[in-house]
Amino acid sequence: MDAILKRDIYTFIRGKINSILFEENPDGVEIVDEDGYIVSCNKAQAHLLQYLPKEIIGHHITDFLTEQHKELFKQKFESLKEGKSIDFEIELVRKDGVSIYIWSKVNPIKGEDGHFIGAIIYNRDITSYKRRESALWGDLERYRAISDGANDLIQCIGPSRNFLYVNEKWRKTLGYSDEEIVHLKLDDVLSPESLPKCKEVLEKVRSGGTVTGVEIVFITRDGKEVFTEGSINGYFRDGKFIGTRGIFRDLTERKRMEREKAELQERLLHAQKMEAIGTLAGGIAHDFNNILMAIMGSTSLMLFSKNRNDPEYEYLKNIERMVKRGANLTKQLLGFARRGKYEVEPTDINELIEKTSQMFAETKKEITIHRKLTPDLPPIEANAGQIEQVLMNIFVNAWQAMPGGGEIYIETKKEELGTVTSQVYGVRPGTYIRCSITDTGEGMDKETQKRIFEPFFSTKERGKGTGLGLAMAYGIIKNHGGAIEVESEKGAGATFHIYLPISERAISRERKRKKMLVGGSETILLVDDEQQVIDVQRELLERLGYRVFVARSGAEAIKIYLEQKDFIDLVVLDLVMPGMDGGETFEELKQIDPEVRAILVSGYAEDDRTKEVISQGISGFIQKPYTPQLFCREIRRVLDSIGKK
pLDDT (tens digit per residue) in 339-369? 444 556 888 989 889 888 888 887 777 888 9
Quote the pTM value.
0.38
Query: What confidence score (pLDDT) does residue 21 get?
Result: 61
Query: What mean pLDDT comes out for the span 64-83?
Result: 81
Mean pLDDT comparison of 112-116, 332-336, 367-371, highest-scoring range:
367-371
More confident residue, 10 or 210: 210
Reported as a single tens digit per residue, the pLDDT across 290-309 is 566 557 656 765 766 677 78
The answer on 139 and 152 residing in a single domain is: yes
Note the pLDDT of residue 381. 84
Phi, psi of 566 (to 5 degrees): -70, -15
Write down the mean pLDDT value for the chain. Answer: 78
* Cα–Cα nearest to 473, from 496, 444, 506, 439: 496
Cβ distance 28 to 34 under 8 Å?
no
Which pLDDT does position 405 carry in this prediction?
85
- The answer to whether the Cα torsion of 52, 58, 60, 61 is positive or negative is positive
**Residues 564, 488 share a domain:** no
* Of 336, 358, 380, the domain-final residue: 336
Inform me whether the pLDDT recorded for 465 exceeds 80: no
The domain that contains 410 carries what CATH number?
A: 3.30.565.10
Q: What share of the chain in percent tops pLDDT 70?
A: 76
**In a shared domain, residues 93 and 142:** no
Task: Return all residues near 641 (Cβ < 8 A) that are at least 6 apart.
Answer: 619
pLDDT of residue 338: 46
According to the model, what pLDDT value does residue 568 have?
A: 92
Are 331 and 380 in the same domain? no
Neighbour order of strands in the sheet with 570-574: 547-551, 523-527, 570-574, 598-602, 620-623
Q: Would you say residue 231 has pLDDT above 60?
A: yes
Which pLDDT score, from 0 to 100, does residue 206 have? Answer: 82
Do both 632 and 531 map to the same domain?
Answer: yes
pLDDT in tens, 499-554: 999 888 877 654 444 445 677 889 999 998 877 667 767 877 887 889 999 999 99
CATH (domain of 588): 3.40.50.2300
The residue-averaged pLDDT of 207-232 equals 87
Residue 624, domain extent: 516-642
Q: Which residue has the higher pLDDT, 509 or 573?
A: 573
Q: 144 falls in which pLDDT band (50, 70, 90)?
A: low
CATH of the domain at 315: 1.10.287
Looking at 67-71, 393-397, 637-641, which range is the least confident one?
67-71
pLDDT by residue (tens digit) across 377-404? 999 888 777 788 788 888 888 888 888 8
pLDDT at 10 over 80: no
Question: Alpha carbon of 406 to those of 363, 439, 440, 497: distances in Å?
Answer: 14, 7, 6, 19
Across 146-150, 256-260, 567-571, least confident range? 146-150
Peptide bond just before 625 cis, omega within 30 deg: yes
Determine the pLDDT at residue 606: 45
Q: Are residues 381 and 435 in the same domain?
A: yes
Boundary of a domain, candidates 232, 250, 268: 250
Of residues 52 and 602, which shows the higher confidence score?
Answer: 52
pLDDT given for residue 525 in this prediction: 94
Q: How many residues does the chain have?
A: 645
Q: How far is CA 410 from CA 44, 115, 147, 436, 633, in A?
A: 75, 65, 51, 6, 28
User: 499 and 571 share a domain?
Assistant: no
How many distinct structural domains can be found in the chain? 5
Beta-strand pair 225-237/240-250 = antiparallel
The listed range with the strongest mean pLDDT (283-287, 562-566, 603-607, 630-634) is 562-566
Residue 136 confidence (pLDDT): 55
Over the Cα atoms of the chain, what is R_g? 42
Indicate if 384 and 305 belong to the same structural domain: no
pLDDT band at 412 (very low <50, low <70, confident <90, very high): very high
Question: Mean pLDDT highest for which of 206-215, 404-413, 414-423, 466-475?
Answer: 404-413
Same-domain status, 351 and 272: no
Residue 475 and residue 524 in one domain: no
| Residue 411 pLDDT > 90 | yes
Mean pLDDT of 185-198: 88
- pLDDT tens for residues 268-286? 666 666 566 555 555 565 5
User: Domain with 213 in it: what CATH number?
Assistant: 3.30.450.20
Domain boundary among 228, 250, 272: 250
* Statement to judge: residues 139 and 241 lie in one domain: yes
Is the pLDDT at 598 greater than 80? The verdict is yes
Shared domain for 23 and 145, answered yes or no, is no
Q: Quick one: which H or E segment has residue 134? A: helix 127-147
* φ, ψ of residue 571 in degrees (nearest 5): -115, 130
Portion of the chain with pLDDT greater than 90, in percent? 13
Closest by CA to 572, choosing from 543, 536, 608, is 536
What pLDDT is recorded for position 450? Answer: 73
CA dihedral for 112, 113, 114, 117, sign (positive or negative): negative
